[in-house]
Amino acid sequence: MEKRKDFASKMGMVLATAGSAVGLGNIWRFPVEAGNNGGAAFIIIYLLCVLTLGIPLIVAEFVVGRAAHTNTAQAYKRLTRNTFWQQTGRLGIITGWLIMGYYVVVSGWTLAYFLKALATPPTIAAHIAKQPGYWSDFFNELTSDALLPVLCVIAFALMSHFIIVRGVEKGIERFSKVMMPMLFILLIVLCICSFFTPGAKEGLTFLFRPDFSQVTFGTLLSALGQAFFSLSIGMGCLCTYASYFSRDTDLLGTALKVAGIDSLVAIMAGIIIFPAVFSVGIRPDAGASLVFIALPSVFQEAFGAFPWLAYAVSVMFYFLLLLATLTSLVSLHEVPTAFLAEDFRMKRRTATTIVTLSVIVIGTLCSLSMGPLADWKLFGKSIFDCLDWVSANVLLVVGGGLITFFVGWKMESKTLRDELTNYGNYPYHTRKWIIVLLRWFVPFVIFLIFLSGIGVL
Ligand code: PHE
């Protein structure tokens, strides 16, 4: 088996982990959730969820990963003899594999939209924007087509393959060090553009002036679910990355940085999207279609007087989405790859190839389930919807529950304490609150999310 390499620099480590967190969850899902739940009030509740639930859970995964210094399936085996708890890591790997299967499909759409934005000259784009229904037809045709989305799935899986195959330091870390700064620059440029749209005032008011009259129990649950997905919690991704952390990495500090970057990107995505949406009078709760159906023409109309600017903004926006998606897919890809390479003593290249091929197969099935295979149903849902539902509403939540319970109650307390304080380098009393949250608060809230996920609440 090849020698295990860690992240080479602190900066690379933080950027790679933040790259896992920043993805479709921030740019696609967050604005939709905020739009559906009243804007600013949702954001405040979301940030509270990140602080009280997200950060303890990130730290919990980091603790397991770094203490065991191996892939997530092996990690629990190294830390406990109890065969039930040993399965926690395996569940994470299965969840990751399934999430990848549908994530790669949506990633493929971002690639198709990026290429479309790039290839459509400003004059034609302006003409298209005047045709009502053009983008919803485009989206429906794209998603139900038998060939194009599958080709995009293959292209995306291969992009992730060629990063993963180069290993943690030369692949993931180097790639994140280039892509993440690029992503921030794009975000800042797009935010600045958004201040100049006609709907800027209205959009920013919606985003930053809280209206708590709209808040319900459902808002809280949506915020919690969003925090889970967006922070990549519950499936061993963070645990796997933490197994490449060095001994002097401050786990709490890294968790705060990753959660901070992730939340900032989500809010910046809101700053980009809402002013544009208000500029053309679309309801901010236009649903999951916001990014793929509403936005393409929104950019055209919002910057209508300057066709080249409209062109540049849409190309940049879809490139941003593509980058964010790729860094997340890479982290998903790494989880089963590390598992195969270490547990089955395979070469990294072989392990990566097996994962890539399996992702292409699952992704293709998912993609076709929106078109030619629409009649194939699992539990009454299409394959795409079924994977999305089972992984986000059930497996991630169960995984998160097991992780918090394991770290809070089952793990050897000395190991937990050593990891939290970096072997006594940080005072224990400043970190004890993490354990209190992991033992009492987080399991209770996860139980609520689980009941709501399966439709009981
Ligand atoms: N956090 C990613 C996003 O926001 C999705 C993801 C979930 C990535 C789980 C890895 C693991 O898009």
Please calculate the CA angle 65-234-341 and round it to the nearest 5 degrees.
Answer: 50
Establish whether residue 275 lines the binding site of ligand 1, counting it when its CB lies within 6 angstroms of any ligand atom: no
Average pLDDT of the chain to the nearest whole number: 90
Q: Determine the distance separating the centroid of ligand 1 and the alpha carbon of 199, expressed in angstroms.
A: 30
Establish whether residue 234 lines the binding site of ligand 1, counting it when its CB lies within 6 angstroms of any ligand atom: no
- For the segment 372-388, the average pLDDT, to the nearest whole number, is 85
Q: pLDDT above 70 covers what percent of the chain?
A: 98
pTM of the model: 0.92
Using the predicted structure, report yes or no on whether residue 280 has a pLDDT greater than 60. Answer: yes
Q: Determine the distance separating the centroid of ligand 1 and the alpha carbon of 247, expressed in angstroms.
A: 25
Using the predicted structure, report yes or no on whether residue 97 has a pLDDT greater than 80. Answer: yes
Per-residue pLDDT at 356: 97
Summarize the chain as % helix, strand, coil (round to 5): 80, 0, 20
Using the predicted structure, report yes or no on whether residue 231 has a pLDDT greater than 80. Answer: yes
Q: Which of 230, 233, 390 to mutate to test the pocket of ligand 1 (most atoms within 8 A of CB)?
A: 230
Q: Determine the distance separating the centroid of ligand 1 and the alpha carbon of 103, expressed in angstroms.
A: 9
- For the segment 412-424, the average pLDDT, to the nearest whole number, is 95
- Give the 3-state secondary structure of 63-92: HHHHHHCCCHHHHHHHHCCCHHHHHHHHHH
Collapsed DSSP state (helix, strand, coil) of residue 42: helix
Q: CA–CA separation, 326 vs 324, rounded Å? A: 6
Taking the CA of residue 25 as reference, the ligand 1 atom at the shortest distance is 4
Domain ranges of the chain: 10-453
Establish whether residue 327 lines the binding site of ligand 1, counting it when its CB lies within 6 angstroms of any ligand atom: no
- H or E segment and range at residue 382: strand 381-382
Of the candidate CATH numbers 1.10.1510, 1.10.4160, 3.90.1720, 3.20.20, the domain formed by 10-453 belongs to 1.10.4160
**9-13, 74-78, 191-195, 291-295, range with the lowest pLDDT:** 291-295
Collapsed DSSP state (helix, strand, coil) of residue 303: coil
Q: CA–CA separation, 220 vs 448, rounded Å? A: 10
- For the segment 118-122, the average pLDDT, to the nearest whole number, is 92
Q: Which of 156, 331, 359 to mutate to test the pocket of ligand 1 (most atoms within 8 A of CB)?
A: 331
Q: CA–CA separation, 150 vs 104, rounded Å? A: 10
Establish whether residue 266 lines the binding site of ligand 1, counting it when its CB lies within 6 angstroms of any ligand atom: no
Q: CA–CA separation, 172 vs 330, rounded Å? A: 7
Q: Determine the distance separating the centroid of ligand 1 and the alpha carbon of 23, expressed in angstroms.
A: 6
Collapsed DSSP state (helix, strand, coil) of residue 373: coil
Would you place residue 296 in the very low, low, confident or very high pLDDT band (cuts 50, 70, 90)? confident
Are 308 and 127 spatial neighbours (Cβ–Cβ below 8 Å)?
no
Per-residue pLDDT at 198: 84
pLDDT tens for each residue of 28-37: 889 888 888 8
Distances (CA, A) of 73 to 287, 326, 340: 36, 24, 10
Per-residue pLDDT at 399: 93
**24-38, 64-78, 256-270, 414-428, range with the lowest pLDDT:** 24-38
pLDDT tens for each residue of 192-211: 988 888 889 999 998 998 88
Would you place residue 222 in the very low, low, confident or very high pLDDT band (cuts 50, 70, 90)? confident
Per-residue pLDDT at 3: 66
Taking the CA of residue 233 as reference, the ligand 1 atom at the shortest distance is 9
Nearest CA to ligand 1 atom 9: 232
**45-59, 81-95, 236-250, 371-385, range with the lowest pLDDT:** 371-385
Nearest CA to ligand 1 atom 7: 232
Q: Determine the distance separating the centroid of ligand 1 and the alpha carbon of 14, expressed in angstroms.
A: 15
Collapsed DSSP state (helix, strand, coil) of residue 39: coil
Output the six-digit token pair for 379: 């539990």
pLDDT tens for each residue of 175-193: 999 999 999 999 999 999 8
Please calculate the CA angle 389-393-396 and round it to the nearest 5 degrees.
Answer: 115
- For the segment 437-457, the average pLDDT, to the nearest whole number, is 86
Per-residue pLDDT at 285: 64
Using the predicted structure, report yes or no on whether residue 132 has a pLDDT greater than 80. Answer: no
Using the predicted structure, report yes or no on whether residue 277 has a pLDDT greater than 90. Answer: no
- H or E segment and range at residue 260: helix 251-279
